[in-house]
Structure 1
Amino acid sequence: MKAILDGSTIRIGPEGLSLYEQGGYGRPGERGLNLSCEEALYLIQRGKLEVEGFDFESLLMHSVNQPENGGTFLRSYIVYRDIRERGYAVQRGPHDFRVFRRGQKPGKGTTQYLIRVLSERDPVAFPILIREVATAEHMRKNFVYAVVDDEEELTYYDIRFHRPKARESISLETGISAVPMGFSAMVAGEGAILLESLWFGTRLDQNRLILSPPEVLYLLDQGLLSFSGSLIDRNGYYASALSADNELNEKLSVYSALRRLGFTPRTGYKFGHHFRVYTESNSHSAMLVHAITEGAEIPISTISRSVRMAHSVKKKMLFACVQNEEIVYIEFARIKL
């Protein structure tokens, strides 16, 4: 089948409509079928198309060098080809690609995935990501990152909002006295026993419990803890703890929100994250949660390591974005299309 290059579009006459009807390629126009360069290259590789004045290599080079592609065309083509070879119809869409349900095609089918293409060195700007996930959710589609590494291999990540369901929480009826100990605080006696039963703190010995800064501040803010035998108050303790941990604000916001849901957040340091979170029971943590600021940017390579770690220990990987008084939980999961 013969085609010509017209700007950034490959045009075929009316005979090209069979490609659309049978395989979901291109978009019908007034004079035939309009193909994207990704579609044309794929069809050339499969021996189904000839573009006047170009072979595969020269058309690929032409597309890569177009200023509007910003040097990203090659990885876009690699993603397009991979999705096609997995048996899906795919078109340019509101993100980078829209992928139809397997066996369905444009015109009659339903879009299943909205795909954004990244390289392994790209940063993830969470304000943009949250908007894109919200758009996909509004359209009732799955939002996916297709990440192309430096060896041109692909990894797909399903990204969605996670809305935790609260479980019944146990409340304290009496205040407990604590002694500030640097950036921590110590509770002794009956108070230590009670807090430990609610999964606060770590045992120092049989009679004493050590509380972490988020635990201390949460209990102070709830009016369940007070300092005894010390001139330091909540604000003084907070200032001291903040001087040692510049992520304390975000961690405290997320810790408090998780506690209000009836969950048990504990340090996730050994997993490389802020919290491991127990949701259904306190015998196995279900999630790893990392608190981030509203405007956070994180390299996709860092997120990749996080997702792999979470998968290896059978947990969900969530980034908790602190937006004013709201916490937006974004879940990343590696998938196979």
Structure 2
Amino acid sequence: MALEGRFDDGVVRVGGDARQRYHDSRGYGYPLDGNEIALAPVEAAHLLYRGDLEAVVDVESGERLEFREFVAREPGLDFGVRFLVYADLRSRGFYLSPAAEPWIPNPPGSEADFAVFPRGKGPRDGDIAYALRIIGERTDIPASELREGVLAVVDEESEITYFKIDRRNPTGTSDTGGEMPANCEADLLADRVVIWDPPLELYERAFYGQPLEGREYDRPTLQCSLLEATYLAERGALSLEPETVRKRGREVEGERFDRRLTVYSVLRERGVVPKTGYKFGADFRTYADVESVENLGHSELLVRVHPAAYVFEPRDLALDVRLAHGVRKTMVFALVSGESDEDGGIEWWSLERLTP
């Protein structure tokens, strides 16, 4: 026999054998006195949708609500998109609870909507597979609100895309700073620098610049980006003054140049070789373990640089992650605060498509 619930003060209370039927065996709600449980509106809606709950009575109005009437009221913030994701994950065999007490003790961060449990486990087992945040495709995301976990984006046709969000710590073993030359002759052009007669290792081992001669050279003449040239000039490797090159970079790129230079420098110091990511619509593509240009493997990451106060549009996130996935790379966002610390005031976040 299907049970009825009572909707009051933001939750749906269900008596009878609800605890055994819904909570203990299937992970819905949280226990009250005796066998009574309390359900979040989205949990109650799912039980109504399945026909496991016959109706919900609004205590204030006395109105008896079945699934259609209950959903039409949108009982809760962003109820429509949350219900779609909740139902989707339930259909995939996952139990999930609102990321709040008293549904679960020690809930994940404030930005999470649900705690998703590993398959075969529920709220009483103490294990959380990931924190889940749910938004519609028109809801922007401030960079400051990024958290480790999963982001579910519901588009205008109710299709759901899941993104796994992780902190990233790019490191590598490339010889990016060893055997640095001194005062190589160089000329500053409009938006790049030419290094005349540099040591062979500067290109072949440390992977700075591109040879003017293409692949046929004995000792290359290197064309370097303004980022590469500034980094080298700061370390005394070029005959140019670092501030002269840096000033040109700011003239060409504006305020983006300093942010990109910060990220470029930190990556180099960490043993990672950053090269232009223009072909992929990113700031950089990166190589973690460069031994020689001759035996160069594929780049692993695409890096896009943003200020720490940046606000993401879900459509742009989807585009970046889809492109990175299509070329077998991981999309990483470097968020630059401008603060001075050993990591250049950078937060690193990776986003990848996820199939739950």
The TM-score with structure 2 as length reference comes to 0.84
Of 266-275 and 106-115, the range deviating more from structure 2: 106-115
Shift of residue 294, structure 1, vs aligned partner: 1.4
1:305 and 2:319 matched: yes
Residue correspondences, number = 315
- State how far apart, in whole Å, the 2-side matches of 1:262 and 1:270 are: 23
- Aligned partner of 2:103 in structure 1 is none
Paired position in structure 2 for 1:111: 128
Native 8 Å contact 2:170 2:272 kept in 1: no
Given the superposition, is the C-alpha separation of residues 114 and 310 from structure 1 closer, same or farther in structure 2, using an over 3 Å criterion? same
Q: Deviations over 1:118-152 (max 9, x none)?
A: 111222211121xx33xxxxxxxxx0001101110
Partner of 1:54: 65
For 1:3 and 1:196, how far apart are their aligned partners in 2? Answer: 71
Match of 1:7 in 2: 9
The equivalences for 1:1-337 within 5 A come to 1-18=3-20, 19-30=22-33, 32-50=36-54, 51-52=56-57, 53-62=64-73, 64=74, 69=77, 72-93=78-99, 94=108, 95-129=112-146, 132-133=147-148, 143-170=149-176, 171-175=178-182, 176-189=184-197, 191=198, 193-197=200-204, 198-205=206-213, 206=217, 208-227=221-240, 233-246=241-254, 247-281=256-290, 282-323=296-337, 324=339, 325-337=344-356
Shift in Å at residue 209 of structure 1? 1.7
Q: Aligned equivalents of 2:86 and 2:175: distance in 1? A: 48
SS of alignment partner, residue 82 of structure 1: helix
Identity of matched residues, %: 30
- Is the Cα contact below 8 Å between 1:192 and 1:208 reproduced in 2? no
SS at match of 1:17: helix
* Distance in 2 (alpha carbons) for counterparts of 1:327 and 1:145: 22
TM-score by length of 1: 0.89
The structure with more helix, counted as a fraction of residues: 1
Q: Distance in 2 between matches of 1:5 and 1:173?
A: 71
d(CA) in 1 for partners of 2:192, 2:244:
13
CA distance in 2, matches of 1:186, 1:276: 22
8 Å contact kept, 1:96–1:114: yes
Separation (CA, whole Å) in 2 of partners of 1:192 and 1:297? 43
* 1:223 counterpart letter in structure 2: G
State the AA in 2 paired with 1:3.
G
3-state SS, counterpart of residue 111 of structure 1: coil
In the TM superposition, what whole-angstrom CA distance separates every residue of 1:206-261 from its partner, at most 9, and x where no partner exists? 5532110110111111222222xxxxx33233222212213111111111111112
> Does the CA-based 8 Å contact 2:172-2:289 persist in structure 1?
no
Letter in 2 for 1:224: A
- Looking at structure 1, the residues matched to 113 and 285 of structure 2 have their Cα atoms a distance apart, in angstroms, of 34
Q: Would the aligned equivalents of 2:191 and 2:225 in 1 still touch at CA under 8 Å? A: yes
Q: Contact (CA 8 Å) 1:183, 1:237: kept in 2 or not?
A: no
The one-letter code matched in structure 2 to 1:278 is: Y
**Deviates most, 48-57 or 266-275:** 48-57
User: Partners of 1:201 and 1:192 in 2: how far apart?
Assistant: 12
- The alpha carbon displacement at 1:192 in A equals 6.1
How many angstroms apart in 2 are the aligned matches of 1:333 and 1:173? 36
Tell me the amino acid that sits aligned with residue 25 of structure 1. Answer: Y
The CA distance in 2 between the partners of 1:126 and 1:173, in whole Å, is 36
In 1, distance between residues paired with 2:129 and 2:144?
Answer: 23
Unaligned runs of 5+ in 1: 134-142, 228-232
- Please tell me whether the aligned partners of residues 172 and 224 of structure 1 are also in contact (alpha carbons under 8 angstroms): no
Structure having the larger proportion of residues in strand: 1
Q: Gaps spanning 5+ residues in structure 2: where? A: 58-63, 100-107, 291-295
**1:213·1:241 contact (CA, 8 Å) conserved in 2?**
yes
- How far apart are 1:168 and its partner, in Å? 4.9
Q: Which amino acid aligns with 1:218?
A: Y
In structure 2, what is the Cα distance between the partners aligned to 1:286 and 1:166? 11
